[in-house]
Amino acid sequence: MEAAGEFLRVPRRRDRRRHLPASTGIYRYVRRHWPRLYPRLRAVHRTTFLRPAANLRAVKRALWQDLVPRLRGDPRLSILDSVPVPVCRFARAKQCRLYPGVAAYGRDPCLPGTFFGLRAHLRVAWPGVIAGFELAAANSADLALAPELLAGASGWALGDRAYRSPAAREQPRAAGVSLLAPFQTRT
């Protein structure tokens, strides 16, 4: 139920424009709209549903790693990039208790100013299969996580200028990956 619900767009009550693919929203949506498929769900409390879903995170990751090679993604062409994952508003960053010791301040050109949170580093294989990901502090360098992302890859890996380093190009090349990160000045 949770795996299918991740693909649904469950609207929040307060703001109908934003969507909540979290387990709480999935639980409420399925309980309300699919009572025939899950007749005993009305007797189950929300936390009883959420605890096993959270505890299965390692199993879900192992399942994902098993399914990625079976998909029709081409491992010889990968794209590396990172996206910011703010965990709270910047004004509340000092009081934020989410991800203690992991979340940090970081900058991203797409966001206005500095943000507090994490950075998701992704490796996407052709034609759009997420073949690897890592969550790191927002101030971590993209280049530092490139070897972990490129584990199991072969062929070419394309990245933006954050992945450019002549010294770092040799390490993936020894593993059979040619990291292409062109130098480009900021405009």
In a domain, 65, yes or no: no
Q: Residues 83, 167: one domain?
A: yes
Using omega within 30 degrees of 0 as the cis cutoff, is the peptide bond preceding 127 cis? yes
Domain that holds residue 95: 73-180
When divided into structural domains, the chain yields a total of 2
Residue 37 lies in a domain: yes
Instruction: Give the span between the Cα atoms of 31 and 39, in whole angstroms.
Output: 9
Q: Kindly report the number of other CB atoms within 10 A of residue 116's CB atom.
A: 22
Question: Which pLDDT does position 55 carry in this prediction?
Answer: 78
- Asked if 88 and 51 sit in the same domain, the reply is no
Cα 59 to Cα 161: distance, rounded to the nearest angstrom:
35
pLDDT of 144: 86
Statement to judge: residues 38 and 126 lie in one domain? no
pLDDT of residue 162: 83
DSSP string, 38-53: -GGGGGS-HHHHHHHH
Question: How many Å apart are CA 39 and CA 59, to the nearest integer?
Answer: 26
Residues 50 and 122 in one domain: no
Pick from 78, 97, 76, 79: which is nearest to 88 by CA?
A: 97
Alpha-carbon gap, residue 68 to 94, rounded angstroms: 38
The reply to whether 28 and 110 lie within a common domain is no
- Residue 125, H or E segment: strand 114-126
Alpha-carbon torsion, ordered 111, 115, 121, 125, to 10 deg: -20
Count of Cβ atoms closer than 10 Å to residue 26 Cβ: 22
d(CA 79, CA 142): 13
Mean pLDDT by 10 residues, the chain (187 residues): 63 48 74 84 81 77 77 79 86 80 84 86 84 87 86 84 75 74 69
Say if residue 104 is in the same domain as residue 149. Answer: yes
Model confidence pTM above 0.85: no
Q: List Cβ neighbours of 90 (8 Å cut-off, separation of 6 or more).
A: 113, 114, 115, 116
